[in-house]
Amino acid sequence: MDNDQILGSISDLVDEERALRARSSDEHGLDPDQRARLRDLEVQLDQCWDLLRRRRAKAEFGEDPDTARVQPADEVEGYLS
C-alpha cells in the first residue's frame, strides 16, 4: 500500500464515520452494531494515520517506506497524544 492508497482509505473511512455520526444525532441514535462499527472505524483510522506517519518517517530518513507495517490496534490505541 502506498501513501496515496492509504490516504484514499482514510478518506473512505472518514466518509463512513461521518455518515454514522450524522445518524447518531437523530432521534433513534445508533444501534449496537453501528456503535461497534463506529469504534472499529476509529481504530482503523488511527492505524492508517500511524502507518502513513511511519512511511513518511522512513522515507525522510532514507529507508524503504514499503517496510512499514500496520501496527496492532492495541498498540496504536495505547499511544499518548
Tell whether 72 is covered by a domain.
Answer: no
Domain housing 16: 3-67
Q: Dump pLDDT digits (tens) for 5-62.
A: 999 999 999 999 999 999 887 778 899 999 999 999 999 999 999 999 999 999 999 9
Strands (DSSP E) contained in 1-81 are none
Residue 20 C-alpha cell reads as 454514522
Report the C-alpha gap between 14 and 45 in whole angstroms. Answer: 8
- Considering its fold, how many domains does the chain have in total? 1
Tell whether 54 is covered by a domain.
Answer: yes
Tell whether 77 is covered by a domain.
Answer: no
pTM for the full model? 0.90
Report the C-alpha gap between 15 and 78 in whole angstroms. Answer: 25
Tell whether 13 is covered by a domain.
Answer: yes
Tell whether 28 is covered by a domain.
Answer: yes
